[in-house]
Amino acid sequence: MNKGKVYLVGAGPGDPKLITVRGLECLKQCDVVVYDRLASPRLLRYLKPGTEKIYVGKLPDRHTMKQEDINQLLVDLALEGKTVTRLKGGDPSIFGRVGEEAELLVDNGIEFEIVPGITSAIAVPAYAGIPVTHRDLASSLSIITGHESPDKLDRSIHWDKVTNATGTLIFLMGVAKIGYIAEQLMKHGKPPQTPVALVRWGTRVEQRTVVGTLETIEAVVKEADFKPPAVIIVGEVVLQREKLQWYEKKPLFGTRVLVTRARAQASELADRIEALGGEPCEFPVIETREPSEPADLEALQAALERAEQYEWLMFTSVNGVDYFFHWLRKFRIDARRFHGAKVAAVGPKTAEALAQRGLIAEELPVLFHAEGLLEQLASRLQPGERVLLPRGDLAREVLPRELKALGLVPTEIDVYETVIAEEHDELALEWLREKDIHMITFTSSSTVTNLLEVLKRSGIENPARLLSEIPIASIGPVTSKTIMAAGLKPTVEAEDSTLDGLLRAIVDYRTANKQTL
């Protein structure tokens, strides 16, 4: 068997979007990923299906895997012919022990590549509003490990040289030794009034910052019950924070939001949550797929083959649009055969999906649901008109029922099925159990019912009770009705049933409840 290859990849400081392009490429192509807690778990969504995931960090029932064992694991996997990505927090060459891993790979004749990452030493201060250099304050910096006992620190750090060697001192992993570090710096010439900042879990939703001086910082840390992991910044550049804070001022900073949409649609909402400073936790509970019953496929094809008969095409979702055109391609039905039909869309996203295919929908409803569509088009609908409704199998019956009541002839076709997603993120489940999710978003009734079912299948005896303790954001009244039917209560509801409306509602709630989230 041919030997595999190992990529030693820096994942960056925590924000998954801070990984390098090359690092992301390595993730996407690997057969196995070996990772620890300092690498964002959200990076795992980029893995190809079937990729083996090996966590080597600390778990409740075991301590962190020993470095020697990790080194050998990488060798063993490569000897099996696998492409391996070793995903390490920050930059692998800065206190990342990448040299030890690479040496053993060389000894075993295994090809490897070191992919640099953005080190927490510069990224974490930047997210706290602290540039590590400044033309007027510091033109150089030192990066020092602080994760040692005092006697080891004294052996590895020449305090008399380090203290005044550079304008800014960066200590990684030194929270527990902050008093000793401050004492040694003052002992060797740093003024007691020298500014100091500690930033915990920088670039992540849990980011927290405390500021003091060398003579006060130990007391500040104790009073704040400040825990590792954190980056320590010593120097005048810390004063820039007061003016340059930016990340912590974003409207959703500190807010982890559960996104339950289908995987194919979750990315847009997730990206917008990130842009507002929140952390999206993607936990898709629904998947869409082609109808599975032969009889349904025959009925679907027959309805589409009658293209010339319809006076209206009414779309109620983006999925409906996407699958409609999927079936036209699959059955080789020319879209121009629908030339006699007017086109209606239930909301702006559905209308946009149509516009991308060269179809302009009639006037949009003010309320983006079936009832709003009927109200908007009521004066233009004529008895006897034939309407094609390309929808999902779980679509509500309001639209066909009301069209029939108005004397029209609707034809419903299930262009896709909605099912419960099979793969689920164990970390998201843990966050839910521990109440580390600060807001749950529901964008359809099926996301409500499926999340409850997924939680039940995951061993949570009373899912509704668990979710009742977490704020819930609903995209609109139809979804809210399902939420309430499940024994829950929406905390906020979008004024209009769009992602824009949903995000506005979440931001308004977050702004009004900053101390409780």
Confidence of residue 367 (pLDDT cuts 50, 70, 90): low
Selecting among 17, 48, 58, 489, the annotated active-site residue is 58
> From CA 486, how far away is CA 408, in angstroms rounded?
34
36 has catalytic annotation: yes
Q: Tell me which range, 108-117, 442-451, 495-504, is most confidently predicted by mean pLDDT.
A: 108-117
173 has catalytic annotation: yes
CATH code given to domain 289-420: 3.40.50.10090
Amino acid at 457: R
- For the chain, the residue count is 517
> From CA 191, how far away is CA 195, in angstroms rounded?
9
Percent of the chain with pLDDT over 90: 64
Mean pLDDT score, 110-129? 96
Task: Report helix, strand or coil for 450.
Answer: helix
Residue 414 CB contacts under 8 Å (≥ 6 apart), including other chains: 291, 296, 300, 391, 392, 393
Selecting among 5, 15, 31, 173, the annotated active-site residue is 173
Q: How many CA atoms lie within 13 A of 299 on its CB side?
A: 14
Q: Tell me which range, 93-97, 125-129, 339-343, 454-458, is most confidently predicted by mean pLDDT.
A: 125-129
Ranges of each domain in the chain: 5-118, 122-249, 256-285+421-512, 289-420
Confidence of residue 147 (pLDDT cuts 50, 70, 90): low
Distance set, CA 86 to CA 51, 58, 103, 268, 365 (Å):
13, 16, 14, 28, 51
- pLDDT one-digit tens code per residue, 472-514: 999 999 899 999 999 999 999 999 888 899 999 999 999 988 7
Beta-bridge mates of residue 145? 172
The lowest-confidence range among 35-44, 345-354, 430-439 is: 35-44
Residue 419 is encoded by which pair of tokens?
A: 């099912």
The lowest-confidence range among 121-135, 220-234, 274-288, 355-369 is: 355-369
Mean pLDDT score, 282-296? 86
Percent of the chain with pLDDT over 70: 93
CA 409 to chain centre: 43
Confidence of residue 65 (pLDDT cuts 50, 70, 90): confident
Fold entry, domain 5-118: Cobalt-precorrin-4 Transmethylase; domain 1 (3.40.1010)
5-118 and 289-420 share one CATH topology?
no
Q: What is residue 372's predicted lDDT score, i.e. its pLDDT?
A: 67
Q: What is residue 215's predicted lDDT score, i.e. its pLDDT?
A: 97
pTM, entire model: 0.79
Domain 122-249 has CATH 3.40.50.300: no
Mean pLDDT score, 321-328? 95
Domain 256-285+421-512 has CATH 3.30.420.40: no
Instruction: Give me the DSSP letters along 99-130.
Output: HHHHHHHHHTT-EEEEE----HHHHHHHHTT-
Q: What is residue 118's predicted lDDT score, i.e. its pLDDT?
A: 96
> From CA 175, how far away is CA 218, in angstroms rounded?
9
Mean pLDDT score, 1-12? 92
The lowest-confidence range among 142-156, 258-272, 287-301 is: 142-156
Mean pLDDT score, 165-178? 92
Closest residue by Cα to residue 432 from 470, 461, 483: 470
> From CA 513, how far away is CA 471, in angstroms rounded?
11
Quick check: 44 and 28 in contact, CB under 8 A? Answer: no
More confident residue, 2 or 264: 2
